[in-house]
Chains A and B, each alone.
Chain A
């Protein structure tokens, strides 16, 4: 038996290809939206994987350091190291900010366009939190003013970047080190990061000292050294955002987390709990936003396919009447229309998949196109096309074969 749908598609291939191309771009956008969500999830997982931690110790009653701000003293790490089952532990700080590339001579900031939004990570070199893989350059070896940056920040080796009051030299480049929001990471020594995060500028320190000195309860007569001690404590801040903990092989991370929560009055999250926070809470709103887009795009795609197939069927009413008159089964005619809709969907899917593959790398945030999503997308396109064809099939089945005869 001749494939009526196939012959019709071949006969008017230009119309089909152009329509399929338009539909394909829409499908490409849909696949990309799914890829954006997958990219966000993958970024979150990469963030956790790259830290090499089994446990995150943060301020009590917070879900830090990624979802909420968390602050704890930097000497707490010593007591954490003393808990049975802990292999390694180290302090880290996280601060999302604008990082400016400065001129090579350090004379001042370059054009405003050189600002990069980045997550500045303070870590102790050689400890947990250090970027595990370098594309170029070396790890930080000096105690101050060296940085390792993710390539997506756009920095190159030898670049001078300004973070708060100090300039840093980019000595290494890493990749896939991004925050849960997709911002590239810039790694600097912990001491510098603590300063960047907690230390005020000189003018603010001078003002704070004057304010403290003017406070009679902090500057009591007859209590020598009190004012200086208070001012010294205000000028220094020994806080960090989290402690990354690696447990000994064979030890359950939850078994280490439990005493941290009970005795240290801190919060501790295992890998699974932190992943839950990142994926189910931190990007939940974005995921719902993307889901809404996917639903709308699916509806628009269905409307387009339905409209195209419907108008194409209306243009063939006389031929359908003739086909019915000469004894063609309704199922054959319905099958022809259904196959055309599915054909349109296949053309659209191929165009969409190819388009998404080409434009995904250009997106500023990571877009992960998974094969599973493509398969699910193809199935969804087929279902949408099948549903969209029902309108045209309904019209075709109502065509009276008598319409082929006379007036």
Chain B
């Protein structure tokens, strides 16, 4: 499975097929039992070998968007986004500038000082996307990001992801079983019987 920068790839499969497990492996949260994973030319896993600092890898190179936004409730919108650059060692001013830039890009800049509980579901999800992009990661993993949203908002989120993938030069993998958005993916992988099959795209013939 290869995902290039600027691409948005869908990953579907029946319940229990291992979508979330694959996402956890890709997210360097759990170790795969075998195989090889390469990110931006750097090997992350190789049949039992792994890079030593997975936490730093997750912080600097992988963005996460969850089914629910899971924003930190005691931080305002700006700091929810700025937290990642700060964890990466950037100054508060630099981190907040990046947060404002992303929030403006995602059309929630006007809610920068709000608390997460004051935002609508769609706004919260956009903030969580901004958070995922904060450290300019080469890849974003999205776990059913449109599940709690209605059709209109779900499609809006997918549009945003597609735009950002191109603008930020980021590869995005979206795990979903949301039929509303499945048709929007140019490339789509299906997990079945423990294997990934490319259902749509260049390798679809496989």
Chain A residues near B (Cβ < 8 Å): 1-2, 4, 7-8, 10-12, 318-319, 322-329, 332, 400-402, 404-407
Inter-chain CA distance A117–B147, complex, in Å, is 78
Contacts known (A1-B86, A11-B74); A402 close to B30, Cβ less than 8 A? yes
- Nearest Cβ in chain B — how far from A384, in angstroms? 25
Smallest CB gap from A401: residue in B = B29
Question: Could you tell me if B24 and A406 are in contact, using CB atoms closer than 8 angstroms?
Answer: yes
- A402 with B74: CB separation less than 8 A: no
Can you show 14 pairs from A to B with CB atoms below 8 A apart? A2-B83, A7-B75, A7-B79, A11-B115, A318-B70, A324-B55, A325-B64, A326-B83, A326-B87, A400-B29, A402-B24, A406-B20, A406-B67, A407-B20
Query: Which residues of A have CB within 8 Å of B92?
Result: 1-2
B29 touches A406 (CB 8 A): no
Q: Which residue among A325, A326, A328 has the maximum number of chain B CB atoms within 10 Å of its CB?
A: A326
Q: Is B59 an interface residue (CB 8 A)?
A: yes
Q: A319-B70, A405-B24, A406-B20 are in contact. List 14 more A-B contacts (CB 8 A).
A: A2-B79, A7-B74, A8-B74, A11-B115, A322-B70, A323-B72, A325-B64, A326-B59, A326-B84, A326-B131, A327-B88, A332-B87, A405-B20, A405-B27
What residues of chain B have their CB less than 8 Å away from a CB belonging to chain A?
A: 19-21, 23-24, 27, 29-30, 55-56, 58-60, 64, 66-67, 70, 72-75, 79, 82-84, 86-88, 92, 115, 131, 143-144, 175
| CB neighbours of A318 from chain B (8 A) | 70
> Whole-angstrom distance between the alpha carbons of A402 and B27 in the complex?
9
The answer on a CB contact under 8 Å between B29 and A319 is: no
Which residue of A is nearest B128, CB measured?
A322
Q: Which residues of A contact B55 (CB under 8 A)?
A: 324, 327, 329
Cβ of A248 to closest chain B Cβ, rounded Å: 73
- Cβ contacts under 8 Å, A327 to chain B: 55-56, 58-60, 84, 87-88
Q: Are B70 and A404 in contact (CB under 8 A)?
A: yes
Residues of A within 8 A of B88 (CB): 327
CB proximity of A295 to chain B, nearest CB, Å? 35
Question: With the chains together, A335 CA to B86 CA distance in Å?
Answer: 16
| In the complex, the 5 A-B pairs of residues with the closest C-beta atoms, listed nearest first | A327-B59, A406-B20, A11-B74, A8-B74, A402-B29
**Assuming A2-B83, A326-B59, A327-B87, is B74 touching A12 (CB within 8 A)?**
yes
Q: What separation, in Å, do the CA atoms of A406 and B27 have in the docked complex?
A: 12
| Closest chain B residue to A320, Cβ basis | B72
Shortest distance between the CB of B176 and any CB in chain A (Å): 12
Contacts of B144 in A (CB 8 A): 406
Q: What are the residues of chain B within 8 A of A325 when measuring CB–CB? A: 27, 29, 58, 64
A12 — which chain B residues lie within 8 A by C-beta? 74
Of the residues A2, A7, A328, A405, contact of B29 by C-beta under 8 Å: A405
Residue of B nearest to A10 (CB): B74
Is the pair A406, B79 in contact by a Cβ cutoff of 8 Å? no
Residues of A within 8 A of B75 (CB): 2, 4, 7
Chain A nearest CB from B20 CB (Å) reads: 3
Shortest distance in angstroms between B153's beta carbon and chain A's nearest beta carbon?
21
